[in-house]
Amino acid sequence: MTCRQLVLASTSPFRRELLSRLGIPFETTNPQTDESPFPNETPEATALRLSEAKARAVAHLHPDALIIGSDQVAVLDGVVYGKPGNHEKAVSQLRAMRGRTVNFFTGLCVFDSKTGDTRVRGIPTLVTFRDLSDDAIENYLLRERPYNCAGSAKSEGLGIAIIARMQGDDPNALIGLPLIALCDLLADAGLQVLGSNQ
């Protein structure tokens, strides 16, 4: 196999750390993509569309690369819970989700900027939250400050304490980059993670 340039179209430190686990050299580029949903677009469709849009947004900077784009939405009763951005919104999110099961849906795309081949996959992770008291929510948020995490849940940190159960094919998906699916998509694109040239 030939060694292709690998690009992560994201500035997320969480996604960068996850991708580094595969031991393949890669670059990161800010996709600067408008993440607003389209009218009447389902949350899952938004995540899939944005994962591809992010990858395509940086293709002109990397004309011969495999570009990874990813986007995640937290969905409960058809309502999307994005990154709260501040304490008040995070409190509101966790109060709405306590004792409930939320779909953290991750869209993943591998775009070949040389050929235009596009591979997209959606990975759902069902997260059941503990029935948290207001005090527990406050304590968690003050200690973790997960204001840049969809649904205010940072499962790779203290957020694991507010979760009762997770159901999904890849524990990394909840953090933002489903590595099992990514290995599949990269292999389909000709890049073997455990290939002899890596």
Tokens of 129: 């939250």
Q: DSSP letters along 46-100, please? A: HHHHHHHHHHHHTGGG-TTEEEEEEEEEEEETTEEE----SHHHHHHHHHHHTTS
Q: 71 catalytic, yes or no?
A: yes
CA distance 145 to 86: 9
Alpha carbons within 13 A on the beta-carbon side of 169? 13
Q: Can you tell me which residue has the tokens 């400050």? A: 145
Of the listed 71, 117, 169, 170, which one is catalytic?
Answer: 71
Nearest residue to 127 via CA among 90, 107, 147, 98? 98
Q: Can you tell me which residue has the tokens 């966790």? A: 94
Tokens of 65: 């690369």
Nearest residue to 108 via CA among 1, 4, 9? 9
Give the residue numbers marked as catalytic: 71
